[in-house]
Amino acid sequence: MSFDLILFGGTGDLTWRKLMPALFQAFRHGKLPAGGRILAVARDERSDDEYRAFIKERFTEVEESKRPSDEAYAAFAQMLHYRRMDLAKPEHYAGLKDWIATPGAVAGRAEGERAGTVVLFLATSPHLFPVICEQLGAAGLNTPEVRVVLEKPLGHDLASAQQINRVVASAFKEEQALRIDHYLGKPAVQNLMALRFGNALFEPLWRRESIANIQITLAESIGVGTRGDFYDQTGALRDMIQNHALQLLTMIAMEPPSSNDADAIRDEKLKVLKSLRPFTPESVARDVVRGQYRAGSFDGKAVKGYLDELKVPPSSRCETFVALRTEVQNWRWAGVPFYLRTGKRLAARDAQIVVNFRPVPHPIFPGSSGAGRANKLVIKLQPEDGLELHLLAAKGSGGNELLSPVSLDLDFDRAFASERVGGYERLLLDAIAGRLNLFVRSDEQEQAWRWVEPILDAWAADPTGPRPYAPGSWGPAAASALVARDGCAWAEEQ
């Protein structure tokens, strides 16, 4: 099906760092439908050719494996167009509507044929979402073939998220509004569904009787860099926990959906969010740790502390690290701790889910008891993409065998010889095709804010602020104490 993809914020960082490389990869893989046009809109004046040259120059700044050759880029660039727009002016939306309605000659389409699908990707600051959606609705750019993609962060709290959703709903039907979370497009996250619901092996064990705890870690080794002004208004809780980490938690904890239908899956995810133990001021003090990195040494080099970063206020109390303990209060998961952790300037760039199984009820081998010796399943999201199953095995022969840990390691990149599809590439293709499974529904998103908001409120009333931690560490010592209280340890401490 032919398509028009309009990128609002067409000269912004998100567009040239993430979206354009993903679109090029989709083009290179032969995945983009025939007859497609990609239109970037922004405030400044430039021609199509000037925009194509701008994106080509920006491609030199992305990772080398995603840079196109001159010949490949020339072919891809024929799809790229540019249009100046002032997002507050109705006449500019009327002009956009005319551009969509009069395509002229487009490779892969009959002369003058309109696109079968129109995707409007809002790669702008979220405070612009309401005005854009209002203007799109007023201009009639909300017909059934139109879909609007909303990039995170979607709001700053529950009230702002609800306001955005109300404006979006006034112009678009729910099935037309695609709230994107690029983590859900990662191949390893897709394998969460396959792991749980495409195999009979784990389902009998996926419950409180067999699982001791589940840990979700989304760690970054870099600091905030040049994004200090944005990050200081956001923080780790809003940036990573409210969306990415909670979405991973729902996929791990959800009940089997009745089908692979988008709403069947999202219904089950919503049930998990509603089952999370709500926070009180007392439980925030007990079960949530926030931290802020200080100056120090990382990888043999001196690095700034958060308060010394560009565009960060010197008295900022913004958290760059969060660790928390929660529970899913239902029959399957009652009493099983879920630990979520994220942060900047940590020891490694590492995103993984660790499912720690309970030890055997009656150990008969010497040294085989204890949580640190139990089985665990590690779902690796980045930088590697795969699964590790940790077991115990006898090392030699004879009586009184000592057990030693062994692991079965599945590297998805090696297992699947073809090149894997990246997160944004997958989600952009899904948006064009109208596949909604990996996009977040408004009630999911609002429920996640509802659960997070008591933490934000408790922090606002707490004069102590975040705990300091050294760069290259795994956060404040209190994060280790949080899990040690349950007789557990984070994966790197086991």
* Cis ω for the linkage preceding 90 (within 30 of 0): no
- In angstroms, rounded to a whole number, what is the distance separating the alpha carbons of residues 382 and 380? 6
DSSP reduced 3-state for 280: coil
- In angstroms, rounded to a whole number, what is the distance separating the alpha carbons of residues 54 and 63? 17
Task: Produce one character per residue of 339-363: b if its CB has 16 or more CB atoms within 10 Å, e if not.
Answer: bbbbbbbbbeebbbbbbbbbbeeee
Query: Catalytic site residue 244?
Result: yes
- In angstroms, rounded to a whole number, what is the distance separating the alpha carbons of residues 263 and 441? 9
Residue 103 CA: distances (Å) to CA of 35, 152, 280: 10, 30, 56
- Of the candidates 404, 329, 391, 330, the one whose C-alpha atom is nearest the C-alpha of residue 365 is 404
- In angstroms, rounded to a whole number, what is the distance separating the alpha carbons of residues 42 and 481? 49
Residue 372 CA: distances (Å) to CA of 348, 362, 393: 22, 15, 15
- In angstroms, rounded to a whole number, what is the distance separating the alpha carbons of residues 153 and 256? 28
Per annotation, catalytic residue among 81, 182, 244, 390: 244
Structure tokens belonging to residue 151: 């990039």
> Strand runs (DSSP E) across 258-394, as ranges?
288-293, 296-298, 301-303, 321-327, 337-343, 350-357, 376-382, 386-394
H or E stretch at 119: strand 117-122
**Strand pairing category for 36-42 and 403-411:** unpaired
- Of the candidates 319, 310, 311, the one whose C-alpha atom is nearest the C-alpha of residue 292 is 319
Counts of helices then strands in the chain (DSSP H, E):
17, 17
In Å, how far from its chain's centre is CA 109? 34
- In angstroms, rounded to a whole number, what is the distance separating the alpha carbons of residues 389 and 399? 26
Active-site positions?
244
